[in-house]
A = this chain, B = another copy of it.
């Protein structure tokens, strides 16, 4: 069944999710964004109509997907009458209960991945976390998600909040550590690419070893001399020193 879908949002998630839905044969008929320019940019990729007023929303679409920043969801939901529409949001940290109970069918469709507009991503193995207010709508969402990914899971709002939180640790914070490492290298005129095999292997290890088993380096060995040398090397960056100390302590206490 081909669905006519309205995408509310034009950011990273909206962009990649639209592409994946179109890939699965569905149609994005409208893209809504408060900024018309943003709506237009994504709508052009989707062969959809860009709108920047909720009054122009199509009333007969099969699914309305709210893929906007977490903090804006509540307001948007309160300004649109979704009573007899199928509506989902895509946010990890926002409860299902942000939707008023007067809506007949509402849910959450949360792809647990990091999306950047500049990089393509394969949806096929992305965990898609589904929650809905009725069993019937849950089934509907699972069937759509299963067209996009082989990894669809029923996840309630409390679990989803924790999953979102762990994404911050395993992705955003990890990426910031990559940033710091690259920064130290470039300051010392060393090609940042020297890190790539290490970064690749560190992430690949988790397929075979638990992070506990996989740990190596000065902190797990309690090698105080190396730690001291590293803190000295960071003497001009008190913030990096603080991160170094805190994470080294964490590793040492864990092992």
Produce 1/0 per residue, A58-78, CB < 8 A to B. Answer: 000000000001110000000
Q: Please, which residues of chain B bring their CB within 8 A of the CB of A214?
A: 114, 116, 119, 175, 178
Contact of A163 among B169, B180, B185, B197 (CB under 8 A): B185
Is the CB–CB distance between A162 and B175 below 8 Å? no
Interface SS majority for chain A: helix
Produce 1/0 per residue, A234-255, CB < 8 A to B. Answer: 1000010011101110110110
Is the CB–CB distance between B112 and A172 below 8 Å? no
Interface residues of A (CB under 8 A from B): 12, 69-71, 93, 112-116, 118-119, 121, 125-127, 151, 153, 155, 158-159, 161-182, 184-185, 188-190, 194-203, 205-221, 223, 225-226, 229-230, 233-234, 239, 242-244, 246-248, 250-251, 253-254
Is the CB–CB distance between A113 and B201 below 8 Å? yes
Q: Please, which residues of chain B bring their CB within 8 A of the CB of A114?
A: 198, 201-202, 205, 214, 216-217
Q: Please, which residues of chain B bring their CB within 8 A of the CB of A177?
A: 169-170, 173-174, 177
Number of identical monomers bound together in the oligomeric complex: 2
Q: Please, which residues of chain B bring their CB within 8 A of the CB of A179?
A: 210-212, 215, 254
Is the CB–CB distance between B213 and A116 below 8 Å? yes
Is the CB–CB distance between A239 and B229 below 8 Å? no
If A173-B177, A250-B176 touch, does A161 touch B198 (CB 8 Å cutoff)? no
* A25 CB, nearest partner CB in chain B, Å: 23
Q: Please, which residues of chain B bring their CB within 8 A of the CB of A233?
A: 161-162, 165
